[in-house]
Amino acid sequence: MNTTYMGRHEYGKRSKDPNRQLIVRPVQAIVSEDTWQKAQKTLSDNLLFAKRNSRHQYLLRGLCKCELCGLTYIGMANRRRSGKEEFYYRCNGKHGTRGIYGAHGQRCPSKEVNGDLLERTVWADVESFLRSPGVLIEQLQQRLAAERSDSKRSREHLGRLEDGLAAKIAERNRILTLFRKGRINEADLDRQMDQIDREEAGLRSNIEDVSARLLSAAGGGLGQSLEALLEKLRGRLDAGLSWEVKRHLIEALVGIIRIDTSDENGKRCASIAITYRFGVCVSTCTDTRADNNCTLEKVHRPPNRWAA
Closest CA to 73 of 92, 58, 56: 92
Average pLDDT over residues 124-149: 72
Q: What is the mean pLDDT of residues 74-89?
A: 83
Report the alpha-carbon distance of residue 169 to residue 191 in Å, rounded. 16
Task: Compute how many other C-beta atoms are within 10 angstroms of the C-beta atom of residue 92.
Answer: 20
Interacting residues of 65 by C-beta distance below 8 A, sequence separation 6+: 71, 72, 73, 205, 256, 257, 258, 259
Would you say residue 218 has pLDDT above 90?
Answer: no
Q: Are 6 and 29 in contact (CB under 8 A)?
A: yes
Residue 289: is its pLDDT beyond 60?
no
11 - beta bridge partners? 23
CB atoms < 10 A from the CB of 261, how many? 19
For 46, phi and psi rounded to 5 degrees? -60, -40
* Contact assessment for residue 91 and residue 71, using Cβ atoms and an 8 Å cutoff: yes
Q: Is the pLDDT of residue 41 over 60?
A: yes
What is the sign, positive or negative, of the torsion defined by CA atoms of 272, 276, 308, 118?
positive
- pLDDT confidence of 303, banded at 50, 70, 90? very low
Residue-level pLDDT at 89: 93
- Distances 279 to 36, 62, 125, 138, 140 between C-alpha atoms, Å: 29, 20, 13, 11, 7
Task: Please tell me the predicted confidence (pLDDT) of residue 292.
Answer: 40
φ, ψ dihedrals at 289, nearest 5° = -125, 130
CA atoms within 13 A on the CB side of 220: 4
Provide the CA 297 distance to its chain's centre, in angstroms. 21
Higher pLDDT among residues 251 and 277, named by residue: 251
Among 47-61, 128-142, 200-214, which stretch is predicted with the lowest mean pLDDT?
47-61
Q: Measured in whole angstroms, how far is the alpha carbon of residue 183 from the centre of its chain?
A: 37
CB 101 within 8 A of CB 107: yes
